Amino acid sequence: MLTLATDLDALTRFGRALADPIRCRILLMLRDAPAHPADMAEELGISRTRLSNHLACLRDCGLVVAVPVGRRTRYELADPRLGHALDDLRNAVVAVEADRSCPDADEQGCC
């Protein structure tokens, strides 16, 4: 059964998902169009096993859904508004010092 996340929970899940560059690339890919795992793995240049782990994280975070299509599974963003949110984040100006990194950079766990 699906439930709606609270505002804080939703932001936390989104942030954790974005903490990994591969998950960011998956989300950007799905922003453009739904995709099948085999195609995504090939485009990302990673193994299907590794992709599967990232997709499981994104599903657990509530950001993507798996849609059965015959004998295959297609993935898409759970809500089209996530695509707009990704675009807004990409266009935001972030002020960082060149010699500084995020204090939580070593804690790139999943949801």
In this prediction, residue 100 carries a pLDDT of: 63
In this prediction, residue 96 carries a pLDDT of: 65
- In this model, does residue 71 exceed pLDDT 90? yes
Q: What is the pLDDT of residues 7-45, one digit of tens each?
A: 788 788 888 888 999 999 999 999 999 999 999 999 999
User: Rounded to whole angstroms, how far apart are CA atoms 66 and 75?
Assistant: 5
In this prediction, residue 111 carries a pLDDT of: 47
Identify the CATH number of the domain defined by range 8-91: 1.10.10.10
User: Rounded to whole angstroms, how far apart are CA atoms 47 and 37?
Assistant: 10
Maximum distance among all Cα pairs of the chain, rounded to whole angstroms: 50
Which residue ranges make up each domain of the chain? 8-91
- In this model, does residue 76 exceed pLDDT 70? yes
In this prediction, residue 74 carries a pLDDT of: 97
Query: Is the model more confident about 22 or about 92?
Result: 22
Average pLDDT value over all residues in the chain: 85
